[in-house]
Amino acid sequence: MRSMLKTSAAAIAILAASISGATADSLSGDLKIFLDTSNPAPRATMEKAIADFQALHPDLNVETTVIDREAYKTQIRNFLTANAPDVATWYAANRMRPYVEAGLFEDVSDLWAEPEIAEGLASTKGAMTIDGKQWGVPYTYYQWGVYYRKDIFDELGLSEPKTWEEEKANCQKIIDAGKKCYTIGTKFLWTAGGWFDYLNMRTNGFDFHMDLLTGNASWQSDEVRQTFANWRELIDMGAFIDNHQTYSWQEALPFMVQGDAAAYLMGNFAVAPLRDAGLTDDQLDFYQFPAINPDVEMAEDAPTDTFHIPANAQNKEAAREFLRYVVSPDVQTWMNNGENLGQLPVNANSSVDNDKFLVEGFEMLSTNSPGGVAQFFDRDAPAEMAKIAMEGLQEFMVKPDNLDRILQRLDRARERIYDN
């Protein structure tokens, strides 16, 4: 299998090189790659991928620097400015915006014009686009959605909802059976951000959601108020577990494991602890957050890790070749399998491990998310705004009558933070 991967990856790399006017043998000099993949499994995966790439280009000297992820976040602006590598890891969408606007990332729209990338990575193009141009390529992501107790749904005669009305009807039957519809732990705020992401994207669409999180729309707008009105329908029904503000996301898992709550809106990382707690795949299933407004396309939260070429890079030809390589179908399949990153490949022509949640997530993100891919609330908004806003979201879930004061507070913060 490994030799097959190398052969296929080599063929893809040579084809991409011929399209760009280069050949595999023509790449030379130094290629400096900075990584924030400091945890053991991601680090080993990246180092193996880079070694395979270098084997395809024997005249190229690849130098890899791995920096602790938290330290990387504080160092990135300095090294992009002063002593830039040729390739650097980062994150998509608004997390890359400051470096795009500062002129520190290279425009790689030429790569996205190549058919292999344009077609294979179509679902992630929006996440890599600012001002109509693309500024990097994704290499891994994972899905969010509703994980639910299939055995409870079967017992109550429920099916996976496709619309908001079906979601609420299911919820009422679950409540009538003496259970909560959803477990959630908002002690650390970001889980409330996930609910807002989905409700707002389903109510107003991806573009409005991005406008709001980048400061270009008002928190007191009619659109936002409709999102909260939809949310309040669930709150007033008693859909969420009690005292959720006292639980972390992990501490909220037992409510679902014990059958006191039927579902959890969460990222795919919740599957492993649910399985570890004893739920079988016959008991556990997944569905895409249902449509609310039929006039907006379905968009998803799928936090995405990315590669970029710094504007001050010295070997941009080799850097582009590396980006082509790392998003190719076979390399994506290998990088994201369970023994490596254990997430989803970004190339729609890749394949995934035979895990039903990865298979469903891959299909959803590759073929059924025409509205775009968001990066999650606290990645899409600036850190200060995200903290203030998520505090407001948690407050709303506990005291929904405070909505007007919350939205006024968030709009004041928006005017101050984005103006600065």
Q: Number of C-alpha atoms within 13 angstroms, CB side, residue 381?
A: 27
Angle at 199 between CA 198 and CA 203, to 5 degrees: 115
H or E stretch at 24: none
Distance CA 418, CA 338 (A): 40
Residues 67, 113: contact at Cβ < 8 Å? no
Q: Which two tokens stand for residue 331?
A: 């390399």
- The answer on pLDDT for 3 being more than 50 is no
Tell me: the pLDDT tens digits for 248-302?
A: 999 999 999 999 999 999 999 999 999 999 999 999 999 999 999 999 999 999 9
pLDDT of residue 315: 98
Domains of the chain: 2-142+302-350 (3.40.190.10), 144-300+377-419 (3.40.190.10)
User: Between residues 386 and 70, which one has the greater pLDDT?
Assistant: 386
Tell me: the pLDDT tens digits for 172-213?
A: 999 999 999 999 999 999 999 999 999 999 999 999 999 999
pTM: 0.85
C-alpha pair distances (Å), 369 with each of 125, 292, 352, 385, 400: 12, 14, 18, 27, 30
Tell me: the pLDDT tens digits for 324-381?
A: 999 999 999 999 998 899 899 999 999 998 899 999 999 999 888 888 889 999 989 9
- The answer on pLDDT for 382 being more than 70 is yes
- The answer on pLDDT for 1 being more than 50 is no
Which one, of 133, 142, 73, lies nearest residue 100 by Cα?
A: 133
- What is the SS3 assignment for 136? coil
Distance CA 33, CA 46 (A): 10
When pLDDT is averaged across residues 232-247 and rounded to a whole number, the result is 98
pLDDT of residue 8: 42
- The answer on pLDDT for 388 being more than 60 is yes
pLDDT of residue 10: 42
pLDDT of residue 149: 98
Distance CA 8, CA 6 (A): 5
Mean pLDDT of the residues in the chain: 92
- The answer on pLDDT for 47 being more than 60 is yes
Distance CA 82, CA 314 (A): 12
Tell me: the pLDDT tens digits for 124-178?
A: 998 899 999 999 999 999 999 999 999 999 999 999 999 999 999 999 999 999 9
Q: Which two tokens stand for residue 325?
A: 């390589």
Which one, of 84, 140, 95, lies nearest residue 269 by Cα?
A: 140
Tell me: the pLDDT tens digits for 80-107?
A: 999 999 999 999 988 898 999 999 999 9
pLDDT band at 244; cut points 50, 70, 90: very high
Give the whole-number percent of the chain exceeding pLDDT 90: 85
* Cα torsion 52, 58, 60, 63: sign: positive
- The answer on pLDDT for 7 being more than 80 is no
- What is the SS3 assignment for 114? coil
Give the whole-number percent of the chain exceeding pLDDT 70: 94
- The answer on pLDDT for 11 being more than 70 is no
Distance CA 327, CA 322 (A): 9
User: Between residues 313 and 5, which one has the greater pLDDT?
Assistant: 313
Distance CA 366, CA 360 (A): 10
pLDDT of residue 18: 38
H helical segments located in 58-189:
69-82, 97-101, 109-112, 115-120, 150-156, 164-176
pLDDT of residue 383: 85
When pLDDT is averaged across residues 394-404 and rounded to a whole number, the result is 98
pLDDT of residue 25: 56
